[in-house]
Amino acid sequence: MLRSLKGLVCHPPKLDHASALHTAARGCLSAAGSQGLQAPAERARAVFCTSESDPARHSQQHEGRHYSIPLEEVKVVFPHGLPPRFQQQIKTFNEACLMVRKPALELFTYLQNSNLAHPAVRYLIYGERGTGKTMTLCHVVHYCMRQGWLVLHIPDAHLWVKNCRELLQSSYKKERFDQPLQAAFWLKNFKTSNGHFLQEIKTQRKYVWGKRESTEEGRPLGEVVEQGLARARVACDAVGVVLREVRQQCRPGSFRLLVAVDGVNALWGRTTLRKEDKSPVSPEELTLVYNLRKMMMNNWNGGAIVATLSQTGSLFKPSSAYLPQELLGKEGFDALDPFVPIPVPNYSPMEFESCYSYYLDRKWLQHEKAHTEDGKEELRFLSGSNPRQLERLVAPL
Amino acid sequence: LRLIYTTTTVQRKNIGASGPEKYTEEFIKKQIEEFNLGKRHLANMMGEDPETFTQEDIDRAIAYLFPSGLFDKQARPIMKHPTEIFPEQRKIQWGEDGRPFHFLFYTGKQSYYSLMHETYEKFLNVQNYQDQLLAQDLLPQKEKRNLAGSRWLTKIELEEMLLEKLSDDDYSRFIQLLQKLMTLPCGDMEEKYIQKFSREVPAQLQKVVIEPLKYDERGVAFSTGEGKRKTAKATAVVYDNGTGKITVNGIDVLHYFPVLQDREQLLFPFQFLGRVGKHDMICTVSGGGRSAQAGAIRLASAKALKSFVTEKEVEFMRQAGLLTYDPRVRERKKPGQEGARRKFTWKKR
């Protein structure tokens, strides 16, 4: 557009003000000029990339760098957790690279130092739109998976309160409503991610699903999940059973539990669903939401709850709202109080450099001006160092 | 005997060929008398002194007594001296016996040829004088005349002066002759004559005023600029030693302008000067729509950046159109059409 004018008018000569990272990289490049091309390229890569693929070992020195997750792990750990644009990026680049950022590192220290005998601590990740809250959550989930925790990952609670085609009346309680589709989908993904736990955990009660089906006491939880998947009508109840069992059995002696919810403000907001008589449904009347709310209470111990606020999918909230008070509403805030807030800011200059070099390395920036310093400044200005804006800007380049 | 008048008035763009009305000299004289009388009456009406009633006072009085909402200033009521209203005309050029006064009448363009004759005569005089001086070896120094500030008459202006139509060829020949006259060393003698045919060029290169930098309490240099675009007004304060952060009306630029196009507009002045991440900016803007506000801030920031930058770069900015006010506004809808340009659907029957 207007950028073409730059080439027409001559500029006064300006100094090349490279940042510290790049001078280091170039220094390496010039020093190792006589060696093969492999070594300098890798050294340049080392600036924004790290080979540490275990999140447990990520620390301050890795801040701002990308680490890659092997693709098989991605399928197991994140069957449904990653944002759709990131999934497309994985497909394009053929690798999943996540940036290590300060909020995630903070969370890791908290989780490592948390005393499991105490009631579960709630961590709330909040920030403006597109600053990387969901990605932080995914990072934490990966970390916990590596540590061997049982992870209950709900990708987007907003999906449960809007755009539902089928609302069945719950068989368990008359006034509640079921959402078989969402429940089945979630159960399937839960099975993929936490398969090995399903054999270990045993039910503590007998559950009756219908006239003929029932699950005895002491059966592995996997059976409950199978039941839920097989019969759509009882899927929601199966979810409720799973949540309950996991909550009760999670103690300092046995496994540890992480409840990771994205878009937690959906649980206390409004829904777009309506009953047959066109009256709106409030969230308590949905079985899934009701059970999930019970999970979010901190009356159990042996794990942690990490939640993200999300304005993007939220209903009936202005787009400039991002603070917990505004998005959760009074009810939600009281329910979640007390919690540890973790703000996620936009990219710092170092993080921006790192992201830019990553894209450059992956040959995602094809425009010839994008390789220059000017191009980088332009990208920085236009995206305002916001990760989402940067990604969208860079997509057509 | 009724005297015939030549009706060849100068064809000007705004005044077409003279209509059926023909102005006699007596008519004009009468008009002048009436004008003066009317001026005195007007002065009495307004309570001012009739002796010192100038043309500006007349204009003000008429505007007050006959307020008009017409857009075209020339369509409103005016009261001016008849010589300004009635275009100049050539008087009759032959006497009662039909014999023309001027000896060059039958050339068709008598005033033009007489002018050429005069100029050439002067030219020859100057040459003779020069030869005389050469013989005595007293050549005076040639003084450089300031050519930059003056220009020759245009063809239209010359036509007005001579009250005759000219062709382009004639005009160029006359100008060439004048230039030749001027280049002679002794041409300064005819200075006065030449000045009749030259005009001052009005300040063409308006010096763009560059304000000096101001320093606020922290010691950081800053400068302000204002910009307008299509009903949106903006003021920008650009600080030095910044990180490229921009705040609009107290809101971050990413939130205020979610559209990429607006942010690109804001980026343009900084990118042009190569100072993208170096300045902070705080602006206030009101009025207009999304694009108009972006354009207004762009103009304001470009004006503010003038103080930080060398004069040559200011000239580059001006040529790039960063410092020009955008005159485009919404065109009015006309009757008989659906919009400003769009006509109603044409139906054949």
DSSP states of A220-276 as a string?
BHHHHHHHHHH-GGGHHHHHHHHHHHHHHH--SSS--EEEEEESGGGGGS--S-B-T
In a domain, residue B127? The reply is yes
Looking at the fold, whether B222 and B309 belong to one and the same domain comes out as yes
In a domain, residue B19? The reply is no
Burial code (b: 16+ CB inside 10 Å, e: under 16) for B205-235 equals: eeeeeeeeeeeeeeeebbbbbebbbbebbbb
Of the candidates A334, A315, A264, which has an alpha carbon nearest to the alpha carbon of residue A124? A264
Looking at the fold, whether B115 and B185 belong to one and the same domain comes out as yes
pLDDT digits (tens, 9 = 90+) for B14-31: 332 333 346 778 888 999
Looking at the fold, whether B220 and B173 belong to one and the same domain comes out as no
Looking at the fold, whether B178 and B238 belong to one and the same domain comes out as no
Percent of chain A with pLDDT over 70: 84
Which range has highest mean pLDDT (B30-34, B48-52, B108-112, B140-144)?
B30-34
Number of domains chain B is built from: 3
β pairing state of A177-178 and A168-169: antiparallel
pLDDT digits (tens, 9 = 90+) for A70-125: 888 888 888 877 888 888 888 888 888 888 888 888 888 888 888 777 788 888 88
B32 Cβ contact list (under 8 Å, min separation 6): B81, B82, B83
In terms of pLDDT, which residue wins out, B207 or A64?
A64
Pick from B252, B263, B272: CB nearest A382:
B263
Looking at the fold, whether B234 and B300 belong to one and the same domain comes out as yes
Structural domain for B75, as ranges: 25-85
Judged by average pLDDT, the poorest of A89-93, A161-165, A275-279, B110-114 is A161-165
Which range has highest mean pLDDT (A270-279, A337-346, B9-18, B165-174)?
B165-174
Pick from B255, B277, B312: CB nearest A320:
B255
**Confidence label for B174 from pLDDT (cuts 50, 70 and 90):** very high
B 4-43 residues with CB < 8 A to A: none
Residue of A2, A8, A11 to mutate, testing the B interface (most B Cβ within 10 Å of its Cβ):
A2
pLDDT digits (tens, 9 = 90+) for B53-85: 889 989 999 999 999 888 888 889 989 898 888
| CATH code at position B255 | 3.30.230.10
- A255 pLDDT above the threshold of 80: no
User: CB of B250 within 8 Å of any CB in chain A?
Assistant: no
In a domain, residue B20? The reply is no
Any idea how long chain B is?
A: 349
Which range has highest mean pLDDT (A60-69, A205-214, A275-284, A357-366)?
A357-366
Which range has highest mean pLDDT (A126-130, B19-23, B287-291, B313-317)?
B287-291
Instruction: Specify the pLDDT at position B12.
Output: 44
CB half-sphere exposure, B338, CA atoms < 13 A:
5
Strand order in the sheet with A49-50: A49-50, A66-69, A96-99
Instruction: Specify the pLDDT at position B283.
Output: 92
Cα separation, A375 vs A378, in Å, equals 5
CA distance B332 to chain A (A): 29
In a domain, residue B52? The reply is yes
Among the candidates B172, B200, B228, a domain finishes at B200
- B116 pLDDT above the threshold of 80: yes
Cα separation, B23 vs B89, in Å, equals 9
Q: Which residue of B has its CA nearest to A10?
A: B316
Looking at the fold, whether B315 and B225 belong to one and the same domain comes out as yes
Among the candidates B50, B85, B120, a domain finishes at B85
Looking at the fold, whether B232 and B156 belong to one and the same domain comes out as no
Q: What are the beta bridge partners of residue A15?
A: none
**Mean pLDDT of the A204-213 span:** 76
Looking at the fold, whether B227 and B315 belong to one and the same domain comes out as yes
**Confidence label for B9 from pLDDT (cuts 50, 70 and 90):** very low
User: CB of B244 within 8 Å of any CB in chain A?
Assistant: yes
- A23 pLDDT above the threshold of 80: no
Q: Kindly report the three-state secondary structure assignment for every residue of chain B.
A: CCCCCCCCCCCCCCCCCCCCCCCCHHHHHHHHHHHHHHHHHHHHHHCCCCCCCCHHHHHHHHHHHCCCCCCCHHHCCCCCCHHHHCCCCCCCCECCCCCECCCCHHHCCHHHHHHHHHHHHHHHHHHHHHHHHHHHCCCCCCCCCCCCCEEECCHHHHHHHHCCCCCHHHHHHHHHHHHHHHHCHHHHHHHHHHHCCEEECCCCCCCCCCCCCEECCCCCEEEEEEEEECCEEEEEEEECCCCCCEEECCEEHHHHCCCHHHHHHHHHHHHHHCCCCCCEEEEEEECCCHHHHHHHHHHHHHHHHHHHCCHHHHHHHHHHCCCCCCCCCCCCCCCCECCCCCECCCCCC
The model's pTM is 0.67
In A250-348, alpha helices (H): 287-296, 324-336
In a domain, residue B286? The reply is yes
In a domain, residue B10? The reply is no
- B343 pLDDT above the threshold of 60: yes
Instruction: Specify the pLDDT at position A87.
Output: 86
Query: How large is the ipTM?
Result: 0.73
Looking at the fold, whether B190 and B257 belong to one and the same domain comes out as no
Instruction: Specify the pLDDT at position B35.
Output: 93
B346 Cβ contact list (under 8 Å, min separation 6): none
**Mean pLDDT of the B80-108 span:** 83
Cα separation, B45 vs A351, in Å, equals 80
Instruction: Specify the pLDDT at position A11.
Output: 43
Backbone phi and psi for residue B255, each to the nearest 5 degrees, phi listed first: -85, -35
**Mean pLDDT of the A348-362 span:** 85
Looking at the fold, whether B236 and B166 belong to one and the same domain comes out as no
Among the candidates B157, B172, B200, a domain finishes at B200
pLDDT digits (tens, 9 = 90+) for B296-342: 999 999 988 888 888 888 888 888 888 888 888 888 899 988 889 99
**Confidence label for B33 from pLDDT (cuts 50, 70 and 90):** very high
- B190 pLDDT above the threshold of 70: yes
Looking at the fold, whether B55 and B149 belong to one and the same domain comes out as no
Looking at the fold, whether B111 and B165 belong to one and the same domain comes out as yes
**Mean pLDDT of the A355-378 span:** 84
In a domain, residue B307? The reply is yes
Pick from B272, B276, B316: CB nearest A381:
B276
Residue pair A110/A339 in contact by the 8 Å Cβ criterion: no
In a domain, residue B99? The reply is no
Instruction: Specify the pLDDT at position B206.
Output: 60
Residue type, A65: R
In terms of pLDDT, which residue wins out, A38 or A132?
A132
- A220 pLDDT above the threshold of 90: no
Q: Give the CA radius of gyration of chain B.
A: 31
Instruction: Specify the pLDDT at position B120.
Output: 92
**Confidence label for B213 from pLDDT (cuts 50, 70 and 90):** confident
Residue pair A128/A321 in contact by the 8 Å Cβ criterion: no
Residues in A whose CB is inside 8 Å of some CB of B read 1-3, 5-6, 9-12, 14, 320, 349, 374, 377-378, 380-382, 384, 386, 389, 393
Distances, alpha carbon A199 to alpha carbons A81, A253, A377, in Å: 23, 17, 54
Residue pair A328/A336 in contact by the 8 Å Cβ criterion: yes
Residue contact A5–B270, C-beta within 8 A: no
